Amino acid sequence: MTHRNRPPAPMHRRVLAAAILAIAAAPALAADAGLKLNAQEYFSRPGLDVLVFNNYYDGLFSDSKHAGVELIHHGVRTATNGDVRLSPTPEQWDPVALMVDRKVDAKTGTVTTRLGYPNEKFEYDIRVTPQDGGVRMQVVLDKPLPKSLQGRAGFNMEFLPSAYFGKSWTMDARDGQFPLYPTGPSGRAADGATVRLPIVTGKRLTLAPEDPQRRVTIQAHTGELGLYDGRNQAQNGWYVVRTLLPAGKSGTVMEWTLSGNTVPGWTRPTVIGHSQVGYHPAQRKVAVLENDRNAPAPGSARLLRIDADGSEHEALAADTARWGQYLRYDYYTFDFSGVRTPGLYVIEAAGQRTHAFRIAQDVYATAWHPTLDVFMPVQMDHMFVNEAYRVWHGRSHMDDARQVAPNKEHFDLYGQGPDLDSPFQPGEHIPGLDIGGWFDAGDFDLRTQTHYATVMSLVDTWEQFRPTRDETTIDQKKKHVEIHVPDGVPDMLQQIEHGTLMLIAQHRVFGHAIPGIVEPDLGQYTHLGDAVTKTDGKVDDPSDPDSPNDDRLAFTTNTTALNYGSAAALAAASRALRGYNDALAEECLATAKRVWEFEHSREPNLFQVGNTTGGNPEDEELRAAVQLLLTTDDAGYAARIGELWPAIDARFPFNAPYALAAMPKMDAAFGAKLRARAEAFKAERAAMVSENPYGVLITRGGWAGNGAVVGMAAANYRLHKAFPDLFGIEDTLQGLNYLYGTHPDSNISFVSAVGAKSKQVAYGNNRADFSFIAGGVVPGVLVLKPDFPENKEDWPFLWGQNEYVINLGASYIYLVHAAQDLLRQ
């Protein structure tokens, strides 16, 4: 008998059942009743957290979508940027307020944040207090809005589109669905400018009424609410709820109550952190279980081996061991190191089951292939890049580049110093720069500092491991690349050559390294899609009024740090290119020597802007000295390395690989000093990683820490090779385990297309398609203050979590080879 034909239960039975359910639900409802201000200074109850300026706008890249009033709803950050903004749908580079003060009143449970727009001479308070299971949010003015902000300033709150795709909204008596793709509405102002119009307006808005985990209700007590689609303005926009601030009023000029529904008794599902790629039989194998603090302990876990016919066999069952608390979760470990039999396995624990992974001798053998085969070629500038039926991009930026003006403050951390250090005049075309180089990241600039780091990583891989893989045709004369088409030359050598051509071009043209080449305006910088469409490929003609003036700008300040960093890469490349491109190898070495002599004959140029003008000058000089020593055996470079010991000592985790590379050519005293410093670092590293259960350093900041994880794991490899009695192999292997899924927030592999479950929505130049580039490595888990680890798998536009960068791809290739070398032992 089906349920629809079953007769209804007698009335008394239904009443009794309802009463029992009500009694059973009462404790959970009571526990979830109201938000409380906790010791971490945000409002919380099971299933809902409200952060109030615990995080602030990123000073490097302006609006990073983690600031102001924010919601973490059933474990997902679904809303951000609750603040006064000057547009209904502000873009990344639009003005943001400066924080003046933030006060927390524990007695009243109130957080008051003072902010302002200095250029407008306007300050305001945002006051948030708990109320009726949610919060009351108020904007309080000491005096009325300045005339310049009337009709512009409003309180905005942004909601994550991917959290509401396919869901509905209600506004007063109206309802509708959130659009999957932006479709308007927009209009035109009297001056012809485009204006963004609300989808709907009213006093009471409910988001996702049908979804108990995403239902949020906002009631406007002043003014009215407008619901906007910020993606009409920019693909990285969010849905925006906004109330315009009234003119001529002071005091409380805006008041909302916001409540987020919570599911009684809800707890976040346990995450089983493990390697999506798998494990070598001999290595340590530990899964890390991330558990909601309100959930029961995960108890036991099982490791199951899967046979070809689908049958399952229990390889191990054991209780999980509690590690402790980290950030907002509890952690447990499941050690299955004793299982060494090759095969396919899954882990079951806490009601979860992982994807299948391998235990195999060759588990890492192909893990670096997508990075070299696909990611690096796709990032190649000044080339036509084709993959079978797909054109990744045309022959881009063949109109490079124009001379920037002096004292130019630019975006993306670029800026020109007071001197041009160039024979060219502002706006003048600079010939010879339309060669080599990789798109730096998800954007298209050629950043020198990233390039020389990438070249050195590739050279290290080539010299130490000699991978001769050939899957790509790279023709520098025709400026043409064919992916998956071998041409008889190792791809590693051709990538080294491509990066070197960009570096050497700067010295040919200017006589020194330059910060890089970047788009002239934000309209081009925010370009998404085929790079060949960013410019017309033709050199601008200043005498032609119809010339598009679209050529990129070269920033040309002659800094000491960049010169040393570039010289280091050129010296390294000269060794790798010997026998393949001898003329380029000779030019690289001669240039590196000339740069060294030049920098030692002048006062250092320490001009600095962001991260485009080189690193610490002493660190960069150390790299140059080491690479020149390795190339020439000149004792003068060894002497200078000895003099730079204070830099090695002070920043040992970063400089140890270079000191270790030089050690065989240094004297015994240097080796003894290096060993003593390494021994001290062993204890320092243990302290660094003790905070978390993953065995790596998880950094805090606006950019997630996979670069540090890979760097420390690679440094451990070199330390192990030099001092095997001090350093084992597991710290190197753990770096890969972390990348491949043993990390907070999820168990996804941070290397796209590597592992059973990998990053498939990332911040590449194809991010508008919610897609990925195989082999790209994303920054990873970003820890938002005070305690929320995040890496969004369904929203690519958060660059601090999801943006590929070329030097991380190159260092990842090195790390995989290092791991294989260790495991062969």
550-576 tens-digit pLDDT: 999 999 999 999 999 999 999 999 999
pLDDT at residue 33 greater than cutoff 70: no
pLDDT of residue 10: 37
pLDDT at residue 53 greater than cutoff 60: yes
603-621 tens-digit pLDDT: 999 999 999 999 999 999 9
Region 44-73 average pLDDT? 92
pLDDT at residue 15 greater than cutoff 60: no
pLDDT of residue 132: 85
pLDDT of residue 22: 37
Q: Where are the domains of the chain?
A: 29-260, 272-359
Distance CA 530, CA 408 (A): 28
158-204 tens-digit pLDDT: 999 999 999 999 999 999 999 999 988 999 998 999 999 999 999 99
Region for 58 from its dihedrals, namely left if φ exceeds 0, alpha if ψ lies in -120 to 50, beta otherwise: beta
pLDDT of residue 545: 87
* Domains 29-260 and 272-359 belong to one CATH topology: no
- On the question of a cis peptide bond just before residue 796, with omega within 30 degrees of 0, the verdict is no
Q: Which of 593, 519, 599 is CA-nearest to residue 554?
A: 519
Distance CA 469, CA 366 (A): 11
Distance CA 5, CA 11 (A): 18
pLDDT of residue 27: 37
Q: How confident is the model at residue 14 (pLDDT cuts 50, 70, 90)?
A: very low
Q: How confident is the model at residue 691 (pLDDT cuts 50, 70, 90)?
A: very high
pLDDT at residue 706 greater than cutoff 80: yes
DSSP H helices in 400-439: none
Q: Which residue has the higher pLDDT, 197 or 545?
A: 197
DSSP 422: S
DSSP codes, 485-519: ---SS-HHHHHHHHHHHHHHHHHHHHSS--SEEE-
- On the question of a cis peptide bond just before residue 786, with omega within 30 degrees of 0, the verdict is yes
Average pLDDT of every residue of the chain: 94
Whether 752 and 773 have beta carbons less than 8 Å apart is answered as yes
- Residue whose entry in the numeric block shows the structure tokens 């009631």: 219
Helix axes 560-577, 617-632, angle to 10 degrees: 20
What's the pTM value of the predicted model, to 2 decimals?
0.94
pLDDT of residue 546: 86
Region for 327 from its dihedrals, namely left if φ exceeds 0, alpha if ψ lies in -120 to 50, beta otherwise: left
Return the number of other C-beta atoms located less than 10 Å from residue 193's C-beta.
8
pLDDT at residue 24 greater than cutoff 80: no
β-partners of residue 121 are none
pLDDT at residue 3 greater than cutoff 80: no
What is the percent of the chain with per-residue pLDDT over 70, rounded to a whole number? Answer: 96
Region 635-655 average pLDDT? 98
pLDDT at residue 60 greater than cutoff 80: no
**β 384-387/480-483 pair status:** parallel
β-partners of residue 172 are none
- Residue whose entry in the numeric block shows the structure tokens 């983690």: 66
Region for 319 from its dihedrals, namely left if φ exceeds 0, alpha if ψ lies in -120 to 50, beta otherwise: beta
SS3 sequence of 513-581 = CCCEEECCCHHHHCCCCCHHHCCCCCCCCCCCCCCCCCCCEEECCCCHHHHHHHHHHHHHHHHHHCCCC
Whether 164 and 239 have beta carbons less than 8 Å apart is answered as yes
pLDDT at residue 256 greater than cutoff 50: yes
β-partners of residue 115 are 99, 124
Burial label for 653, CB within 10 Å (0-12, 13-18, 19+), is middle
Cα dihedral 179, 182, 183, 187 sign: positive
Region for 56 from its dihedrals, namely left if φ exceeds 0, alpha if ψ lies in -120 to 50, beta otherwise: beta
Q: How confident is the model at residue 1 (pLDDT cuts 50, 70, 90)?
A: very low
Return the number of other C-beta atoms located less than 10 Å from residue 603's C-beta.
7
Region for 91 from its dihedrals, namely left if φ exceeds 0, alpha if ψ lies in -120 to 50, beta otherwise: beta
Instruction: List all residues 6 or more positions away from 668 whose beta carbon is below 8 Å from its beta carbon.
Output: none
pLDDT of residue 542: 84
pLDDT of residue 25: 37
Q: Which of 773, 713, 780 is CA-nearest to residue 743?
A: 780
pLDDT at residue 652 greater than cutoff 90: yes
728-759 tens-digit pLDDT: 999 999 999 999 999 999 999 999 999 999 99
364-379 tens-digit pLDDT: 999 999 999 999 999 9
pLDDT of residue 751: 98
Least confident among 12-26, 185-199, 533-547, 791-805: 12-26
pLDDT of residue 9: 38
Return the number of other C-beta atoms located less than 10 Å from residue 737's C-beta.
30
Whether 615 and 579 have beta carbons less than 8 Å apart is answered as no
pLDDT of residue 13: 36
Distance CA 642, CA 168 (A): 67
Buried-state track 676-697, b at ≥16 Cβ within 10 A, e below 16: ebbeebeeebeebbeebbbbbb
Cα dihedral 86, 92, 94, 98 sign: positive
Instruction: List the CATH code of the domain at 29-260.
Output: 2.70.98
Instruction: List the CATH code of the domain at 272-359.
Output: 2.60.40.10
Distance CA 165, CA 131 (A): 28
Region 86-98 average pLDDT? 94
Q: Write phi, then psi, for 475 (nearest 5 degrees).
A: -115, 105
β-partners of residue 244 are 154
Distance CA 761, CA 165 (A): 15
CA 26-27-29 angle, to 5 degrees, is: 65
Return the number of other C-beta atoms located less than 10 Å from residue 511's C-beta.
16
Instruction: List all residues 6 or more positions away from 183 whose beta carbon is below 8 Å from its beta carbon.
Output: 229
Q: Which of 500, 512, 531 is CA-nearest to residue 393?
A: 531
